[in-house]
Amino acid sequence: MTPAIRVHGLVKDYGRTRALHGVDLEVRAGEVFGFLGPNGSGKSTTIRVLMDLLRPTAGSVEIFGTAPAAGGPGLRARIGYLPGELSFPARMSAGEYLAYLAALRGGRGRRRTGELAERLSLDLSRPLRALSKGNKQKVGLVQAFMHDPELLVLDEPTSGLDPLLQREFLLLAREAGARGATVFLSSHMLQEVEEVAGRVAIIREGRVVDLDDVRALRARAGQQVLLRFAEPVPLAEFADLPGVQDAALDPSDGTTLSCLLRGDPMPLLTAAVRHRVVRWQAEDRELEDLFLDFYRRPFPSTAPAPPAPSDRPAPGSAATRPGGVR
């Protein structure tokens, strides 16, 4: 089956700045796909190439098997696009603008406008220029969803929405997925992506550093393990065990070992029982922790290039705070 979106070796330069370093992605028809990464990682650039608002420096993109530049209005009609930066004609009301868009689409979407505006608490009579950022975002969402497109390409859709409306948006995205539409959702918020998406690509500095099923990603997040021993233990017995990462002993008396465990627990257990264990504690890590790993640590070995130390966010910086990575 032809994928809804195919991105192959996509490179994009803005003058001398390379924003995308060879992005590869395939979004299957009918899936809700999350495109997750902090601000500046290349999400909007990828999306703008998909929408033919930018042309690739190298590589290629296809939507439903067609290059966006060759697809014309026929292809555009199958897509609902919410840009990251919205700009509207100043003189129209929200309702007039949406009616105008519906007319451009041959009347498609007129029927759903009122229902969507109501669900998002959008006052259609207000002039667009008088709308707050959040209300403009609602207009953007209505125009993206109103014609029930086969593909929704949504760039940071909940930006500026309060939590109640974020929930309503997630419901809309889920409904679109349930009726068979493909949803490509970019976000820096893990939580919202995790709630709706089946698969997720994680982008960092213009490269996709991971792409997997949300469930598989969660399983890979592993467990945080704490082991307390009756006597001090040598760190070297644990540090290089298969599946064990970040092993550390408490500096006070060396009897408490903490580590991250991924995969088979047997090597760690076998090493532990050579000593007298007085406490064992293992907690499942959240997907959030795995996501933050990509920003706290060097790239995993599969990644194309290690980051310079200055690229890593400092502990406690916005990029290491829960809830979002900016």
Residue type, 85: E
What ranges in the chain are assigned the alpha helix state H?
43-50, 68-76, 94-104, 110-119, 133-145, 163-178, 190-196, 214-220, 236-239, 266-272, 287-296
Which one, of 252, 6, 34, lies nearest residue 158 by Cα?
34
Residue 43 or 119 with smaller CB distance to ligand ADP:
43
Q: Is residue 61 close enough to count as binding ligand ADP by CB under 6 A?
A: no
If binding is defined by CB under 6 A, does position 41 make contact with ligand ADP?
yes
* Cβ closest to ligand ADP, residue 45 vs residue 137: 45
Residue number, 168 or 205, with CB nearest to ligand ADP: 205
- Identify the residue among 37, 68, 177, 222 touching ligand ADP (CB under 6 A): 37
How far CA 27 is from CA of 8, 35, 152, 289, in Å, comes to 12, 10, 12, 25
Binding ligand ADP (rule: CB under 6 A), the pick from 9, 40, 83, 243 is: 40
Among 5, 7, 45, 82, binds ligand ADP (CB under 6 A): 45
- Candidate list 4, 5, 19, 209; residue touching ligand ADP; CB under 6 A: 19
Q: How far is CA 81 from CA 41, 208, 210, in A?
A: 20, 22, 24
The secondary structure element, H or E, covering residue 169 is helix 163-178
Residue 44 touching ligand ADP (CB under 6 A):
yes
- Beta partners for 36? 187, 202
Q: How far is the CB of 238 from ligand ADP (least distance, A)?
A: 38
User: Taking CB under 6 A as the rule, does residue 14 contact ligand ADP?
Assistant: yes
Q: Can residue 34 be called a binding residue for ligand ADP (CB under 6 A)?
A: no
Binding residues for ligand ADP, rule: CB under 6 A, are: 14, 17, 19, 37, 39-45
